[in-house]
Amino acid sequence: MQRFRSACLLACLVIGAVLAPAAAHADAVSDWTAGPQAVLDNSTYAGFIDAPANNGTVSTNGFNVNGWFVDRAAQGWAGADDVQVFLGTMDGGGRMLAKATFAQPRPDVGQALGNPYYAASGFNAFIPAGAVPAGQQVISVYVHTAGKGWWYKQVNVNASATAPAATAPTSPSASATPVAGGGLPTIVILTPKSGEKVETKNEYQISGYALDKAAALNQGVQNTGIDKVSVYMDAERENSGTTFLGNADMAFSSPEAAAAYGTQFSSAGWHLSFKPTQFHAEGHELFVYAHSVVTGKEDFVTVGFDIVEPKVEGQQGN
């Protein structure tokens, strides 16, 4: 089986496509298909859904979805900034089953493509019990890239209550024993700037980078040594007055981190969007936490900014 999968991987990388089984309704090894906000083309995409197998059987009591994705136009990382698994299609009445963990270790892909950054191209998601009803179903894996929107691949599965249930995977980096000692992780907020005025009319993207300078390759997300960045508003995490904005998406390109700490950290960027309209137009403070898998330590930084009402047309600025 391993030899077969290796052959499939090499064939996809060399010729870019393989023929679909004649009976399949969804083709697990076809080119990536355009989804919502898709632009340009998929000529630089490569990837595969390793599990579940196309036309295979999964358990209604839980199963795993995993594989790998690379955008060969990406510089310094594998290219995906989000991976989601749907029952059906995202824009066709489907339902999201899980947000996948991505930028996971896949040294075989990095070796096959001859690019060490692609060794962190894996994705995995656990689909919990009851999420998929019994019978013939189509599972769609959507990958988002910053420049081309959403693209997807699909597999047909037979969901059965009698099939063995799977357990949620454990991230290798998260399960590694932290080393004793060591310094705190580095966490930087790039936007908003201190004192920046953020208007309420649009979504706003909070961004920055996070890393552990002692991280080895394949520790944390995209070799950064960090496995989680969390963002809170107006008070520290432990205080009752805080608002949790969410866990940031990670593995974004960060020339700032690369310039300051080296090319290993060129994908240490993180992003989180929020809606200023949900908050009063006044001064606010962000608290951003980063957790290191290298030491198990966590640190946070803060920045103050103002949420303001949008200017009325013709209104003079201050």
CA–CA separation, 284 vs 235, rounded Å? 9
What's the confidence (pLDDT) of residue 170?
A: 54
Token pair in block for residue 140? 């769609």
User: What residues contact residue 160 under an 8 Å CB cut-off, 6+ apart?
Assistant: 57, 58, 59, 60, 134
For the whole prediction, is pTM greater than 0.75? no
List average pLDDT for each run of 10 residues in the chain, which is 318 residues long: 45 38 39 90 93 94 94 85 90 88 85 88 90 95 90 95 82 52 90 94 93 85 87 91 90 89 89 92 96 91 94 59
Instruction: Spell out the domain ranges in the chain.
Output: 2-169, 174-308
The single-letter code of the amino acid at 2 is Q
Choose the CATH number for 174-308 among 3.40.50.1970, 3.40.50.720, 3.40.190.10, 2.60.40.10: 2.60.40.10
Q: Check for a shared fold between 2-169 and 174-308.
A: yes
Say which CATH topology domain 2-169 has: Immunoglobulin-like (2.60.40)
Q: How many residues does the chain have?
A: 318
**CA separation (Å) from 246 to 12, 93, 115, 289?**
37, 26, 32, 11
What's the confidence (pLDDT) of residue 315?
A: 55
